[in-house]
Homo-oligomer: A and B are copies of this chain.
Amino acid sequence: MPFSPETVTVLAPATVANVVCGFDVLGFALAAPNDEMRLRLTEQPGVVIINDDDFDLPTEPTRNVAGAALLAMLRAVPEPLGVEVRIRKAIRPGSGIGSSAASAAGAVVGLNRLLHERFSKAELVEFAMCGEEVASGVRHADNIAPGIYGGVTLIRSTTPTPDVVPLDAPPLFVTVVHPQIEVKTSDARQILKRQVSLQDAIRQWGNVGGLVAGLLKHDYALIGRSLEDVIVEPVRSILIPGFREVKEGSRAAGALGGGISGSGPSLFMLSQDEATAQAVEAVMRETYQRLGLEHHIYLTSINPHGCQIVNNP
């Protein structure tokens, strides 16, 4: 691989994982917000991280999500290579909309372009999972996969390797609210019950089947009926003030449904049209104004592309 002075610029989108009933298996990419990452090959082997924002994330490659993902990818390349990555994050760490996954996915998609698309998307997911592991201690792919494939993805299984199934969904508007409270992924994991009733599990996999079918059949009513989580939401929603008001108000305003994004604290709601998504935005704003909680709202849509190279070296 020859040294190249070219720079690629990648937009790496926020993503929603744990999509209601699809805990650990369903995720989708958002059209906004996006991190911006610029990568170039260097003569000096190894990875250099430059943060171009105020989040004060680690720059040591093994402790940085993008760095760990790139190191995993470089180990799969026979020649000694160096890469420098400059990161300007727009997705707030800890928001629950895949901030770390965006860094990991954007890094490997960028380097792969510099390597003339040497690796498949499935391989990129595996490299990026090594980055996610730095952030959460868990090798999960439900933010990574939609970040790399775009759209809505099912991760059928992660063992032995991730089995990613892109689901061709109909147009959907997404309203996301990030209330400024802290929910640690590790706390959110710990609160889960390790055993669930068979009856609840059956109800959940009926809904997963319904949601997958609704997306593939472009059946909005079926999507709406399937957006029900009887296992994780009842436990985790108690960590998020305003959850119930947002959910009930959004459905009353016409949303198809929604729930906790990732392990929270962000909440998301899906709507069939933009006017409904705006009504949902109003519900979210009123709820958190009343609670006196600072919050950010994104009114966006599903991003069918995932990470995108915005220049063409």
Which A residues are within 8 Å of any B CB, using their own CB? 21-26, 154-157, 163, 165, 167, 192-199, 201-214, 216-217, 222, 225-226, 231
Contacts and interface: CB of A to CB of B under 8 A. Distances in A.
Contact of A209 (B156, B195, B198): B156
Contacts of A222: 156, 165
A217 B157 CA distance: 18
A204 B167 CA distance: 18
A274 to B, nearest CB: 27
B167 A205 contact: no
A203 B217 CA distance: 24
Nearest to A199: B194
Interface centre among A154, A155, A156, A205 (most CB of B within 10 A): A205
A59 B21 CA distance: 44
Nearest to A25: B206
A191 to B, nearest CB: 12
B216 A156 contact: no
Contacts of A231: 198, 201
B202 A24 contact: yes
A154 B213 contact: yes
B23 A207 contact: no
B163 A205 contact: no
A95 to B, nearest CB: 24
